[in-house]
Structure 1
């Protein structure tokens, strides 16, 4: 069960980290005109600048995997903030494959707290298990890919910069993101080329795997000031006529976000076997 959850989470964040969207304060007024089209390097620089500073937001990431007989739907909802200490996040991940499994996370700059599914039979008053970033215990090592993927997917707008060496703009038009006027970009990414730019680790491994499956197309909506609003990514797998799709949206950007860390009194030892 735990292994399946880890695989689902890494697959979700591996693909979704390739593009992301945020509701930014510069684009919440529908009367503000969308930006003009810009070259890919300028777009990448503007989007990254909007997301690299301190801030907070609520988010939703939805992923659907259809490969052979497998059909998995994963949804992550939550909120995060970044401050001088690092990344703080609270999130709930629901996976249907075909049974439904729900997993809750609290991420701090040094640890991730995991509320395991009911089948793990933890005491009701101690429903959380703590995994330490870089920890040597089996549970921490087992959740290390999830820890890394959560941080990557939230801290960086893209798995790698929108580099012309791996990504090309295939279209651009005016298309609203909800009710907000926006510039809409269609993109195509060479995942094999992107993987070469990534450091060794779970994200690179996932990107290399996806590169073997097929080609990825993305859509990105940006508002005034090139504030990212929304994104969608689709990986087609011709060999199985399957698809991997991820859509992402953020809201309440800049609003206060509370990330309650479970107290030690609510922690259980990791399940046997990690």
Structure 2
């Protein structure tokens, strides 16, 4: 089970970091006649997107991360849906990792707990396939999933996991590019990861940013629709020393539509594994 926790935390750290340059495709408006937003300065762009994503809203999402490094090739895909209400953040998602074997991990996030459905090789009872990790739990399983809980709650749903701070990010270009039939404002961005790492608290996200800052440069693109809705973003970290790349794509859809997050009942819960 420790391998499962490590796998989940590592994947969340990567998607959280690259969310500022990830791919986020969604529908800000179903009416193509709606004009795209005008170009805005970086502080206003950042605050507008953050306000949209931090407010009471809902959407479906997909995040795909591909890593090419030396002989290694891995693909991580997270697909799910989220909503924010008066109680907090709710989310249901499934993460699939191919590196090279395929591992699938499902989880449900509530304002107070993370429910984890480990891969089949963990051999939990068929009628009790879930394990609950609580935010302040003292058991080993909850402690191991604490970074996952924090990362999911704070960063993974935002294309601006690393804030668009003028001190670390610059807009290098802007034009109009529709996303499907939806008009959108497209931004090209460049972020100084070394500067970003200095602003982050100690933890997995900071460690990942520091590592990627040493490996190469990151270029970002972001598509924004009317009403400060992120429609798409793309990121690519080139690693010249190994001719490697880290590429992330994210999609959002169904903004504002009802999202049901089914919480596993106690009858389907297995005890936290001993030893984590």
TM-score by length of 1: 0.93
Residue of structure 2 equivalent to 1:148 = 150
Using a 3 Å threshold, how does the CA distance of structure 1 residues 202 and 259 change in structure 2: closer, same or farther?
same
- List aligned pairs for 1:61-76, cutoff 5 A: 61-76=63-78
TM-score (structure 2 length as normaliser)? 0.92
**Count of residue correspondences:** 273
Is the CA contact 2:225–2:231 (under 8 Å) kept in the aligned structure 1? yes
Q: How does 1:69-84 map to 2 (within 5 A)?
A: 69-84=71-86
Unaligned runs of 5+ in 2: none
In 2, are the aligned partners of 1:52 and 1:155 still within 8 Å (CA)?
Answer: no
CA distance in 1, matches of 2:251, 2:74: 20
Paired position in structure 1 for 2:210? 208
What is the rounded CA distance, in whole Å, between the counterparts of 1:4 and 1:183 in structure 2?
Answer: 37
**1:21-53, Cα deviation, whole Å (9 max, x unpaired):** 46454x331112222222111211222222221
CA distance in structure 2 between the aligned counterparts of 1:28 and 1:207, rounded to whole angstroms: 36
Q: Give unmatched runs, 5+ long, in structure 1.
A: none
Whether the aligned pair in 2 keeps the contact of 1:60 and 1:75 (CA below 8 Å) is: yes
Aligned to 2:92: 90
CA contact under 8 A between 2:139 and 2:272: conserved in structure 1? no
Q: Aligned partners of 2:31, 2:67: CA distance in 1, in Å? A: 35
Secondary structure of 1:75 counterpart:
strand
Alpha-carbon distance in structure 1 between the residues aligned to 2:9 and 2:71: 17
Partner of 2:194: 192
Paired residues for 1:217-236 under 5 Å: 217-236=219-238
CA distance in 1, matches of 2:58, 2:159: 14
| Corresponding position: 1:164 with 2:163 | no
1:99 matched residue in structure 2: 101
Mapped contact 1:214–1:238 kept (Cα < 8 A): yes
Tell me which of 11, 14, 18 is aligned to 1:12.
Answer: 14
User: Any runs of at least 4 consecutive aligned residues in structure 1 with deviations exceeding 6 A, and if so which?
Assistant: none
Distance 2:176 2:161 in 1: 25
Do the aligned partners of 1:120 and 1:271 also contact (CA within 8 Å) in 2? no
d(CA) in 1 for partners of 2:68, 2:131: 31
Q: Give the stretch that moved more between structures: 200-209 or 114-123.
A: 200-209
Q: CA deviation at 1:254?
A: 0.7
Structure 2 distance, partners of 1:58, 1:244, is 23
> RMSD of aligned C-alpha atoms?
1.8
| Equivalent residue number for residue 130 of structure 1 | 132
On the 8 A contact 1:81/1:87 being kept in 2, the answer is: yes
Structure 2 residue corresponding to 1:258, chosen from 257, 260, 266:
260
